Amino acid sequence: MSDTQLTRRNILRGRLGPQAPCVCPPGVSLDGLAACTSCGACVTACPTGIITFAGGKPSIDFSRGECTLCGKCGDVCPEPVFDRSAPPAFDHVIRIADSCLALHRTDCQSCRDHCPVDAIRFEPQLGGPFRPLLDPEICNGCGACLSVCPIGAIGVAPLARKDMAKGNIAGGSTGGGQMHG
């Protein structure tokens, strides 16, 4: 993908590097995208408007909001792009970067407040604000926490669910740094 545009908003949010890799709609793998004809049916059907086209293929833009995992995108797709044998799910985990405000003695829990499955919790730490902890087994990857982070310290790391359960969460963070949890 191309580099992030150098705008005032991106500078203030610390988004100066390359953009995140393509995040496929729920139930779609990068291999499944090969069957996509770019008809746009999934974009139109998405009730939250977070499916966009990146490189001619559907991609999730969490800066626009969260995914409700309703499955409407897969229902309207005329091609064998979506895995219809299982409920819609993402193959990534949310990552909290070292730039998180709570890790720098600033009280912020907006990610926790917006998480619909309570995958993010905060634990007290001596002499400072609460520290974020992510439970990757609860996180459904919906992205509700991404757009509300005031500094963009939350990103995604594309992984298979089996890797998440093992705690294998290295690499791929769009927020940079290490995951906390």
> pLDDT tens across 93-129, in order?
899 999 999 998 888 999 999 999 999 999 998 887 8
80: confidence class by pLDDT, cuts 50, 70, 90:
very high
61, 143, 171 from 158: Cα distances, Å: 14, 13, 9
Instruction: Say whether pLDDT at 84 is over 70.
Output: yes
What architecture (CATH level 2) is domain 92-166? 2-Layer Sandwich (3.30)
Instruction: Please check whether the two domains, 24-76 and 92-166, share a CATH topology.
Output: yes
pLDDT digits (tens, 9 = 90+) for 150-173: 999 999 876 644 443 433 333 333
User: What would the CATH number be for the domain defined by 24-76?
Assistant: 3.30.70.20
d(CA 12, CA 83) in angstroms, rounded, equals: 38
Average pLDDT over the chain, rounded to whole? 81
